[in-house]
């Protein structure tokens, strides 16, 4: 099946309209007509070549919401007409200890991601900036009724990537949680941590978005450009989720952790980060990382969002403005996720 898409022809080049081939619907596959696809900063790192060489032309997009148009003969979990979501994970081995535990994102044989991955049939995956996609049913999520679909798309990456560490490190009542960077991931981290009952502080470069941060559910908001912030908040937090797409001064943020606190990096800057062991040792602090979340946990997150009335704050755009949207993300001028209306690709 030949479908319309937006692709980067080569690393660092602007995205342009193209067509790509989607595989025939296999016995365990679902054909999805895409309604919306979110723009994640990972798409930008990837197409700019910041994470190393990738196969081009490359169609980014791993925050997809759409309607099931066809299911394979062996699919019992999804039906035609149903609204579904697809995130980063589109396949994994299903047999290793990570997969068996439901942590497919840590598949020991390597996960297959929505784009720029070699699928288990040897083809290269192409992402969601497209009109249709074919995905193994085991990686297709059910979208609960009652959430506006454009606001659901970003949950498939930004939502689960922040939900998973918040749960893993026990965000909840009585916990002090800080979120570094108020972009796509950051604004979901604020909403989710607040809904989990934690006390939430935003650490942003400036106070420009303070009003938004408080509206999203933060209890406090500080500018990291003000050195006073680091003295005032020293030793305060149980958990800090760092969503910044660039490298940060890790020791400065570690110093904000209480005894046994954890700084969890979900931001994935291309440059290495450095840590002074003493900052960790002095208060038994942890410096950790976390990758998206497993399929079961992603469904749990979607259900949690439906229950709490949460979606992303989105700006819906036409596909032809995707390059401008990238520039605005790079300038930290996103409020708080760009979402492509896939009908503009038809």
Give the footprint of ligand NAP on this chain (CB under 6 A). 40-42, 45, 157-158, 161, 181-186, 204-205, 209, 243-246, 266-269, 290-292, 329, 332, 334
- Whole-number Å distance between alpha carbons of 334 and 196: 25
Q: Give the list of residues 6+ apart from residue 263 with CB closer than 8 angstroms, or none.
A: 240, 242, 250, 253, 254, 257, 285, 286, 287, 288
Question: CB 185 → ligand NAP: shortest distance, Å?
Answer: 3
We find the least distance from the C-beta atom of residue 230 to ligand NAP, in angstroms, to be 14
Q: Radius of gyration (Cα) for the chain, nearest Å?
A: 20
**Out of ligand NAP, Zn ion, none, which partner does residue 214 contact, by CB within 5 to 8 A per kind?**
none
Coil, strand or helix: which one is 283?
A: coil
CB of 123 to Zn ion, least distance (A): 21
The interface partner of residue 77, options being ligand NAP, Zn ion, none and the CB cut-off 5 to 8 Å by kind, is: none
Shortest Cβ distance from residue 91 to Zn ion (Å)? 17
Judged by beta carbon distances under 5 to 8 A according to partner kind, the member of Zn ion, ligand NAP, none in contact with residue 186 is ligand NAP
Query: Distance between CA atoms of 44 and 329, rounded to whole angstroms?
Result: 9
Question: What is the CA 346 to chain-centroid distance, rounded?
Answer: 26
Closer residue to ligand NAP, CB minimum distance, 84 or 158 = 158
Using a 10 angstrom Cβ sphere, with 0-12 exposed, 13-18 middle and 19 or more buried, the burial of residue 95 is exposed
- Residue 244 binding result from ligand NAP, Zn ion, none, given CB thresholds of 5 to 8 Å by partner type: ligand NAP
Query: CB of 47: closest distance to Zn ion in angstroms?
Result: 13
Q: Which residues contact 230 (CB under 8 A, 6 or more apart)?
A: 224, 252, 255, 256
Q: Which residues are within 8 A (CB) of 175 and not within 5 positions of it... i.e. 6 or more apart?
A: 198, 199, 238, 239
162 binds, among Zn ion, ligand NAP, none (CB under 5 to 8 A by kind): none
* Stretch of residues binding Zn ion (CB under 5 A), selected from 91-99, 156-164, 258-266, 336-344: 156-164
Residue with tokens 């062991």: 277
> Which regions of 80-216 does DSSP assign to beta strands (E)?
83-86, 89-91, 112-113, 132-136, 141-142, 176-180, 199-204
Residue 44, interface with Zn ion (CB under 5 A)?
no
Q: CB–CB of 181/244 below 8 Å?
A: yes
The nearer residue to ligand NAP, 181 or 217, going by C-beta atoms, is 181
Q: What proportions of the chain, in percent to the nearest 5, are helix, strand and coil?
A: 30, 25, 45
Nearer to Zn ion, 62 or 83 (CB): 62
CB of 127 to ligand NAP, least distance (A): 13
CB of 319 to ligand NAP, least distance (A): 18
Q: Are 185 and 243 in contact (CB under 8 A)?
A: yes
Closest residue to ligand NAP in the complex (CB): 183
Cβ-based neighbours of 71, under 8 Å, separated by 6 or more: 25, 29, 30, 31, 78, 79, 80, 137
Q: If DSSP codes are grouped into helix, strand and coil, which group holds residue 260?
A: strand
Q: What residues are paired with 31 via a beta bridge?
A: 70, 134
Residue 42 in the binding site for Zn ion (CB under 5 A): yes
CB 168 within 8 A of CB 196: no
Q: Which residue, 80 or 246, has its beta carbon nearer to ligand NAP?
A: 246
Q: Does 86 bind Zn ion (CB under 5 A)?
A: no
- Residue 153 vs 257, nearer CB to Zn ion: 153
| Residue 153 in the binding site for Zn ion (CB under 5 A) | no
| CB-nearer residue toward ligand NAP: 25 or 114 | 114
Q: Least distance in Å: CB of 161 to Zn ion?
A: 7
Residue 334 binds which one of ligand NAP, Zn ion, none, with CB within 5 to 8 A depending on kind? ligand NAP
Given the rule CB under 5 A, which residues bind Zn ion? 40, 42, 157
């Amino acid at each position: 099946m030949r479908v319309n898409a937006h692709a980067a022809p080569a690393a660092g080049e602007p995205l342009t309209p193209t067509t790509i081939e989607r595989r025939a619907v296999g016995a365990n596959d679902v054909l999805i007509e895409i309604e919306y696809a979110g723009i994640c900063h990972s798409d930008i790192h990837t197409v700019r070549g910041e994470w190393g060489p990738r196969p081009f032309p490359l169609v980014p997009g791993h925050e997809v919401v759409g309607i099931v148009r066809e299911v394979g003969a062996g699919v019992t979990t999804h039906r035609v007409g149903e609204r579904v979501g697809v995130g980063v994970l589109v396949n994994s081995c299903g047999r290793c200890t990570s997969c068996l535990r439901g942590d497919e994102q840590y598949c020991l044989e390597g996960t297959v991601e929505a784009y720029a991955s070699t699928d288990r049939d040897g083809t290269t995956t192409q992402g969601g900036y497209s009109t249709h996609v074919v995905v193994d049913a085991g990686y297709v999520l059910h979208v609960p009724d009652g959430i506006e679909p454009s606001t659901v798309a970003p949950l498939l990456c930004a939502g689960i990537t922040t939900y998973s560490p918040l749960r893993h490190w026990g965000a909840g009542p009585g916990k002090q949680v800080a979120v570094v960077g108020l972009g796509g991931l950051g604004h979901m981290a604020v909403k989710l941590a607040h809904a989990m009952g934690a006390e939430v502080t935003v650490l942003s470069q400036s106070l420009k978005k303070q009003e938004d941060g408080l509206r999203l559910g933060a209890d406090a908001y500080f500018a990291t450009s003000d050195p006073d912030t680091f003295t005032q908040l020293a030793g305060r937090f149980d958990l800090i989720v760092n969503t910044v797409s660039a490298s940060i001064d890790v020791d400065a943020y570690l110093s904000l952790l209480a005894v046994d606190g954890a700084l969890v990096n979900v931001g994935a800057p291309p440059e290495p980060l450095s840590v002074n062991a003493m900052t960790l040792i002095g208060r038994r602090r942890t410096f950790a990382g976390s990758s998206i979340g497993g399929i079961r946990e992603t469904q749990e997150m979607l259900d949690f969002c439906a229950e709490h009335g949460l979606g992303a704050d989105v700006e819906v755009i036409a596909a032809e403005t995707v390059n401008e949207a990238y520039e605005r993300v790079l300038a930290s001028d996103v409020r708080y996720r760009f979402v492509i209306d896939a009908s503009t690709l038809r």
